[in-house]
Homo-oligomer: A and B are copies of this chain.
Amino acid sequence: MRIGVLGTGTVGRTIAAKLRELGHDVLVGSRSAGADAVPFPDAAKHGALVFNCTAGAASLEALGAAGEENLTGKVLVDVTLPLDFSQGSPPGLFVCNDDSLGEQIQRAFPETKVVKTLNTVNASVMVDPIPGTNLFVCGNEEEAKAQVGELLQGFGWPADAIIDLGDISNARGTEMYLPLWIRLMGALGTARFNIAVVQ
């Protein structure tokens, strides 16, 4: 399918490469178009589905630049984290607890179907899952989550590894896992890990 990927950082490039490998027609968008990226609006307009891989702190502005009209009625896969480096490292979150970046984006683009996922693992794990571990999705639209679930299965996530947490307010849960993720990365000495939910 035609897919727009907003953001040219490691996450955006990794996801775009995987989508192309899977045969999708991908345009990557950035603030300033370059050798392998088009302007945000062109990438968003191109996509029947759009990935938001921009930096959390710049996401609302980037999506605004992409153009609400280019996102209306579409599924937006929101991979962002509301990282706040203003107090140094490890970073905090610039929104949490009673709100989330996923919800802020859904409120700002009410006609877009925001699905939050992939934000609990690093770029390499996103497209090369660690066997036996889990991924979380949330969003207000069941059909949108089902469509994203199929894409995730293409990335290598088994259907039964994907846990649907409910509506987009549950992005609070997955975004607030970040402070634990960062500390686990420090304790383990690698970012290539994930969690398995075990009963």
Contacts and interface: CB of A to CB of B under 8 A. Distances in A.
Interface string A77-93: 00000000001000011
Interface string A159-187: 00001111000101110111111111011
B87 A93 contact: no
A1 to B, nearest CB: 28
Given A93-B97, A96-B96, A172-B179, A199 B188 contact: yes
A192 interface: yes
Interface string A116-139: 000000000000001011001000
A194 interface: yes
Copies assembled: 2
A32 interface: no
A199 B97 contact: no
A186 B92 CA distance: 26
A87 B92 contact: no
A183 B179 contact: no
B174 A180 contact: yes
Given A166-B183, A194-B197, A195-B195, 10 more contacts: A133-B198, A136-B180, A165-B187, A172-B179, A173-B184, A176-B177, A176-B178, A184-B197, A195-B198, A196-B196
